[in-house]
């Protein structure tokens, strides 16, 4: 499984050097020079833990959640206090877990970050369908949230049952969303569940847009080894047909493809925390990506608190990129947005894209994975399928291994991928 990713990485980075994550970090995180910096805050609490879900999460407990938020505030000032001037940040996203469970304290976290940053493109936050009510939505708006993402997974009882999720009434969500509007209302779905058809998914997407969403994220089900999920993944051919069918449906409805798995129904609706050139992450399991490094915080809530309470950063591992590794990482996440603008690459690395990856982009065009229009490379339907297919390998080869270890060990000595 990981052979494909290892070979591709070796070819694209022109090196056999693996990604080596070490248990070390910079005391002062060098983010001051980063352009287009995104912010991310992880709140790991959920009322019920879903067996298929790989994220860093814990059962909700009010006192524990409060103590955790106190630590988050301290981490923000610990990391950002190094610079006096306010810096621009493109966006702030709250992910989890279920951050809406901490609704009463979101405003405090936003204010703490606004002491250090001017946030220019809005604030996003994830909710479980149970959190979608007028009171919670109003409090989130009051705190400055402009985009929400709701974990629907499916409107079909059969698929909610397969995932072990409770049924809910879409009408209840619709009423709350009409009463408290947001700039982006995104809804998450999982596809490629056993027995799922294109008709099931089209009905889900149509319902989402009819009850108040203007953006949908349709994630392929990923069977992470460490979750112990009993959901059987779908075969490759069936999955490809399904992905192509839903993509064609969304295109025929004139929904705009924002990224490999997301579509929007209105201009400007977007929800993405990962497609940033640089980002700073706060909270357990949060990652930070800068020009020369990628670091990940501990996955243990207890160890996270212990570190912060002794004014120490909760970093578990740091990867120091070679230039080629960083270029590969940059292209992987830019391509996720379905287009690559060589100008952006050159601005970031100071080298023309053509000089470094001219052959690869020529090949991508020859193989029908991309087209070139006005100097920008755009992914085709075929390219999107293969990206999606490769992403599955990448997730299983890299993320599954790394998160599996980090869930067992708070501070492993090293992880080599
Ligand atoms: C943090 S949750 C969203 C908010 C909230 N906790 C909830 O579940 O409604 C993030 C999203 O990841 C997706 N997800 C979780 N586990 C997945 C898996 N094994 N494969 C694919 N997508 C998954 C789900 O669509 C989920 O909505
Ligand atoms: S899917 Fe959402 S509610 Fe379920 S465990 Fe994951 S983060 Fe929590």
How much distance in Å is there from the Cα of 54 to the middle of ligand 2?
8
Q: How far apart are the first and last CA of the chain?
A: 13
In tens digits, the chain (417 residues) has pLDDT values of 456 566 666 666 666 567 899 999 998 898 988 888 999 999 999 999 999 999 999 999 999 999 999 999 999 999 998 777 899 999 999 999 999 999 999 999 999 999 999 999 999 999 999 999 999 999 999 999 999 999 999 999 999 999 999 999 999 999 999 999 999 999 999 999 999 999 999 999 999 999 999 999 999 898 888 898 889 888 888 888 888 899 889 989 999 988 888 999 998 889 987 677 899 999 999 999 999 999 999 999 999 999 999 999 999 999 999 999 899 889 988 888 889 999 999 999 999 999 999 999 999 999 999 999 999 999 998 898 888 877 777 777 788 899 999 999 999 999 998
How much distance in Å is there from the Cα of 360 to the middle of ligand 2?
38
Q: Assess whether the C-beta atom of 116 lies below 6 angstroms from ligand 1.
A: no
pLDDT reported for residue 11: 62
d(CA 218, CA 188): 6
Helix (H, G, I), strand (E, B) or coil at 61: coil
Residues 6+ apart with CB under 8 A from 350: none
Query: What are the φ/ψ torsions at residue 283 (nearest 5 degrees)?
Result: 100, 170
d(CA 78, CA 100): 24
pLDDT reported for residue 391: 79
Q: Assess whether the C-beta atom of 144 lies below 6 angstroms from ligand 2.
A: no
| Probe residue for ligand 2, chosen from 43, 44, 46, 95 as the CB with the greatest number of ligand atoms within 8 Å | 46
If 0-12 CB within 10 Å is exposed, 13-18 middle and 19+ buried, where does residue 333 land? Answer: middle
Is residue 25 within 8 A of residue 341, CB to CB? The reply is: no
Q: Which numbered ligand comes closest to the C-alpha of 58?
A: 2
Residues of the chain by 3-state class (helix, strand, coil), percent to 5 = 45, 20, 35
| Probe residue for ligand 2, chosen from 47, 97, 149, 193 as the CB with the greatest number of ligand atoms within 8 Å | 97
pLDDT reported for residue 1: 44
How much distance in Å is there from the Cα of 223 to the middle of ligand 1?
12
Q: Assess whether the C-beta atom of 55 lies below 6 angstroms from ligand 2.
A: yes
Q: Assess whether the C-beta atom of 270 lies below 6 angstroms from ligand 2.
A: no
Q: Assess whether the C-beta atom of 128 lies below 6 angstroms from ligand 1.
A: yes
Is residue 123 within 8 A of residue 100, CB to CB? The reply is: no
Q: Would you call the peptide bond into 39 cis, given omega within 30 degrees of 0 as the criterion?
A: no
pLDDT reported for residue 243: 86
Q: Which numbered ligand comes closest to the C-alpha of 151?
A: 1
pLDDT reported for residue 354: 94
Quote the pTM value.
Answer: 0.94
All domains in the chain, ordered by first residue: 1-17+322-417 (1.10.10), 31-264 (3.80.30.20)
């Amino acid at each position: 499984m990981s052979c494909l990713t290892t070979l591709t990485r070796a070819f694209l980075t022109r090196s056999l050097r693996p990604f080596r994550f070490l248990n070390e970090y910079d005391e002062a995180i060098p983010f001051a020079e980063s352009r287009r910096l995104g912010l991310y805050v992880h709140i790991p609490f959920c009322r019920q833990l879903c067996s298929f879900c790989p994220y860093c999460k814990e059962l909700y407990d009010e006192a524990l959640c409060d103590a955790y938020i106190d630590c988050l505030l301290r981490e923000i000032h610990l990391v950002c206090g190094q610079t006096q001037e306010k810096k621009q940040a493109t966006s702030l996203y709250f992910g989890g877990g279920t951050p809406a469970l901490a609704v009463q304290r979101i405003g405090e976290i936003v204010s703490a970050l606004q002491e250090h940053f001017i946030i220019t493109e809005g604030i996003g936050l994830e909710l479980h369908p149970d959190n979608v009510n007028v009171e919670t939505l109003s409090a989130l708006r009051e705190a400055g949230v402009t985009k929400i993402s709701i974990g629907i997974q499916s409107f079909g009882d059969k698929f909610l049952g397969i995932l072990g999720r409770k049924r809910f009434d879409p009408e209840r969500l619709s009423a709350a969303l009409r009463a408290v509007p947001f700039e982006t209302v995104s809804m998450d779905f999982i596809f490629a569940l056993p027995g799922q058809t294109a008709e099931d998914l089209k009905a889900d997407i149509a319902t989402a847009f009819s009850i108040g969403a203007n953006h949908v994220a349709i994630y392929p089900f990923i069977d992470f080894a460490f979750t112990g999920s009993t959901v059987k993944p779908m075969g490759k051919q069936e999955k490809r047909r399904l992905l192509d069918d839903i993509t064609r449906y969304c295109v025929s409805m004139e929904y705009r493809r924002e990224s490999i798995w997301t579509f929007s129904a209105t201009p400007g609706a977007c929800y993405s925390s990962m497609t940033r050139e640089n980002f700073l992450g706060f909270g357990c399991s949060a990652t930070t990506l800068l020009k020369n490094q990628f670091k990940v915080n501990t996955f243990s809530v207890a160890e996270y608190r212990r570190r912060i309470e002794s004014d120490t950063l909760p970093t578990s591992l740091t990867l120091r990129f070679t230039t080629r590794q960083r270029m590969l990482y940059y292209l992987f996440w830019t391509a996720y947005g379905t287009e690559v603008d060589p100008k952006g690459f050159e601005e970031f690395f100071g080298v023309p894209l053509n000089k470094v990856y001219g052959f690869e982009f020529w090949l991508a065009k020859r193989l029908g994975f991309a087209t070139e229009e006005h100097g920008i490379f755009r992914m085709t339907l075929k390219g999107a399928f293969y990206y999606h297919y490769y992403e599955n390998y990448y997730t299983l080869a890299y993320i599954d291994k790394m998160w599996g270890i980090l869930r067992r060990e708070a501070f492993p000595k090293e992880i080599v991928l």
